[in-house]
Amino acid sequence: MKMILRILLSALAVVILSKILPGVGVDSYVTAIFVAIVLGLLNFLVKPILVFFTLPVTIITFGLFLLIINAIIILLADYFIDGFQVDNLWWALLFSLLLSFLQSVLFSFLKEDTIK
- Residue 110's pLDDT band, with cuts at 50, 70 and 90, is confident
Helix (H, G, I), strand (E, B) or coil at 115: coil
Q: What's residue 1's pLDDT?
A: 79
Quick check: is 101 in a domain?
yes
How far is it, in rounded angstroms, from Cα 17 to Cα 9? 12
Is 98:67 a contact under the CB 8 Å cutoff? no
Residue spans of beta strands (DSSP E) within the chain = 24-26, 84-86
Q: Average pLDDT in the 103-107 region?
A: 90
Quick check: is 92 in a domain?
yes
Quick check: is 88 in a domain?
yes
User: Greater confidence, 115 or 26?
Assistant: 26
Quick check: is 51 in a domain?
yes
Q: What's residue 2's pLDDT?
A: 85
Average pLDDT along the chain: 93
Quick check: is 37 in a domain?
yes
How far is it, in rounded angstroms, from Cα 46 to Cα 72? 10
How many domains are there within the chain?
Answer: 1
Domain residues for 100?
A: 2-107
Q: Average pLDDT in the 100-110 region?
A: 90
How far is it, in rounded angstroms, from Cα 24 to Cα 41? 20
